[in-house]
Amino acid sequence: MTSATHRVYNQVDDLVDIDAFDGDKVASFALHNYGADWASQRARDFAANVWSADTQHAARLSHRNPPELKTFNRIGTRLDTVEFHPAYHHLMQTAYRAGVHALPWATDNPGGHTARAVLSYLWNQVDGGTACPTGMTYAAIPILRDAPGLTLWADRSAALDYDQTFAPVAQKTSAHIGFAMTEKQGGSDLRANQTTAVPATGARGPGEAYLITGHKWFFSVPMSDAFFTVAHTPAGPSCFFVPRFTPDGEVNTFQLQRLKDKLGNRNNASSEIEYRDTWGLLVGEEGRGIPTILESADLTRLDFAIGSAGLIRAALSQAINHATVRHAFGSPLIELPVMADVLADLTLEWAAAAHLGFRLAATADSDTEDERLLSRLLTPVGKFWNCKRAPAVVSEALECLGGNGYIEEHHMPRYYREAPLNAIWEGTSNMMVTDVQRVLAKEPKALEPYLDEVRTAAGNDTRLDNAIVEIETAATNPGTLTGRRLVSMMALALQASLLIRHAPAAVADAFCASRLDRDWAPTFGTLPTHVDAEAILDFGRLT
């Protein structure tokens, strides 16, 4: 007979089978507003897959069973491979077949980047580790398409399939691409790299073979089929395309020294490697490696802004679900004013982050000069702000679940460990601020499309109007605001403008009052007393 003390009630089951696309008022809006309605069914089907019990379980298993380095086989032959739990391959197959890595390059429909952004936003709600290879491949495909001799690689990388076979690319149905730039002495300072490259046959120039020697400190997804890497030639840092197999079908020289034991992102096999006369092709001109690599940075940074918005959405979904089901003091937690205020505050963060990310994605779908300039400025702004806000949101959402959110059987600890990473990858927060300052100094005309975008909502809220004046003054008078304060204000003003135009009045008003009017303490749950928390929560619920 079961003891009465072990009767299970007032507990919250796992959150699965939720309506994460049609019920998400920002994601579904983005496809319609930015001309990608054609992808709605794809996003709807993918959302159901992401939040299925099988996919959620696979995400947990892949992190509980991290990859293993296989340096040698049983008889001493060098392998330099990584072995993954089957759950990891299940996740990769799910993401790649949906097109998270390549949808804009696999369709002729308009709005491909927006559609892909929605898929990435959904995917980051289940797993950040496999979002790394999808994001890197997404950013690599344009370089592959433009580089001589890499057409097959471009085609394989854009295929909506996942082929885990360790084999030359011609023998595979698909490929995924990594980036290998960071070295221990330089970090983000790629000019401090010490890896070198010399011509393999004496011939120099784009498309020619070189032999590369050096060490890479953070080498993510080492089982990718090829990598873009930076190495020095006499002309300076240069970009090379380095496949795992040489053209004659032999395994290229990659000595995997170790896998990183990381705080989070544990199913992603970040490693350290040695190049020892490793075969690679020069991409672009010698000495132009950093600009060549940075051609992909806008897409990876866009993806981190989107990914952080997706992580914020996942944490909010978990918190709202828990507070709706769980009772305390005679009521559902969500009906307690102090909890409702916290959840409403978190909802504002999600709505603003998602709108900012999708507006940024829409710039990639346009070929106008204004949108190019807007992208140039908004990419570091969006990457900085969304990636900075994610850890704070996830921490507060975890607390909404109490101890039940702190145990490893729940997804929240994984979210918590993932949350800081996007701010580190592809340029830290300080690098994003520096990039904004560089754009304002060297390409000041980029400010006008940004201000035009924000001014679209001018006249609807005096707090936004005041912020626009403050930003324009500071951006054109260096030193008026410190770097991070200016970039933060730019993010908040655009988020406010987007919410005024595209969200319920209660949401926009609360955001402007708290974020722009400074009527907000440095913690969640301190919204002004006049805000309509229930209306905000209605916007945040997946309905």
Is the confidence at residue 52, as pLDDT, over 90?
yes
pLDDT for 191 equals 78
Return d(Cα 487, Cα 471) in angstroms, integer.
9
Residue 405 corresponds to which amino acid? Answer: G
Q: Is 355 exposed, middle or buried (0-12, 13-18, 19+ CB in 10 A)?
A: buried
Segment among 453-467, 496-510, 520-534 with least mean pLDDT: 520-534
Q: What is the pLDDT of residues 322-338, one digit of tens each?
A: 999 999 999 999 999 99
- Where are the extended beta strands (E) located within 225-360? 226-233, 236-243, 255-259, 271-283, 327-328, 331-332
Is the confidence at residue 2, as pLDDT, over 60?
no
CATH fold of 169-288, please? Butyryl-CoA Dehydrogenase, subunit A; domain 2 (2.40.110)
The residues near 473 (Cβ < 8 Å, ≥ 6 apart) are: 480
Cross-strand partners of 237: 232
CA 291 to chain CA centroid, Å, is 21
Is the confidence at residue 1, as pLDDT, over 70?
no
**Which tokens sit at 192?**
């401090």
Cross-strand partners of 215: 274
Q: What is the pLDDT of residues 404-438, one digit of tens each?
A: 999 999 999 999 999 999 999 989 999 999 999 99
The residues near 332 (Cβ < 8 Å, ≥ 6 apart) are: 323, 324, 325, 326
Contact 172, 163 (CB under 8 A): yes
Which of the four CATH numbers 1.10.3080.10, 1.20.120.530, 1.20.140.10, 3.30.499.10 does domain 292-540 have?
1.20.140.10
Picking from 294, 455, 449, 453, the residue whose alpha carbon sits closest to that of residue 373 is: 449
Contact 104, 35 (CB under 8 A): no
Contact 238, 282 (CB under 8 A): yes
pLDDT for 212 equals 98
Return d(Cα 343, Cα 335) in angstroms, integer.
11
| Per-residue confidence band for 320, with pLDDT thresholds at 50, 70 and 90 | very high
Return d(Cα 169, Cα 163) in angstroms, integer.
10
Angle at 316 (CA atoms; ends 310, 317), nearest 5 degrees:
90
**Which tokens sit at 525?**
């749950």
Residue 42 corresponds to which amino acid? Answer: R
Which tops the pLDDT comparison, 4 or 475? Answer: 475
Segment 129-155 shows an average pLDDT of 96
| 457 phi-psi bin (left φ>0, alpha ψ -120 to 50, beta other) | alpha
The residues near 364 (Cβ < 8 Å, ≥ 6 apart) are: 104, 113, 114, 298, 299, 302, 375
Segment 243-269 shows an average pLDDT of 96
Q: What is the pLDDT of residues 282-298, one digit of tens each?
A: 999 999 999 988 888 99
Q: What is the pLDDT of residues 239-251, one digit of tens each?
A: 999 999 999 999 9
CA distances from 106 to 96, 150, 161, 315 (A): 12, 17, 11, 31
pLDDT for 188 equals 75
Span between the terminal Cα atoms of the chain, in Å: 41
Q: Which helix (H) or strand (E) holds 80?
A: strand 78-83
Contact 429, 484 (CB under 8 A): yes
Is the confidence at residue 154, as pLDDT, over 90?
yes
Q: What is the pLDDT of residues 349-372, one digit of tens each?
A: 999 999 999 999 999 999 999 999
Residue 279 corresponds to which amino acid? Answer: W
Residue 338 corresponds to which amino acid? Answer: V
Q: In this prediction, what percent of the chain has a pLDDT beyond 90?
A: 92
pLDDT for 257 equals 96
CA 329 to chain CA centroid, Å, is 39
In this structure, how many other beta carbons lie within 10 angstroms of the beta carbon of residue 459? 10
Locus of tokens 């924000």: 454
pLDDT for 439 equals 96
pLDDT for 4 equals 74
Domain-by-domain residue ranges, the chain? 27-157, 169-288, 292-540
Return d(Cα 231, Cα 253) in angstroms, integer.
15
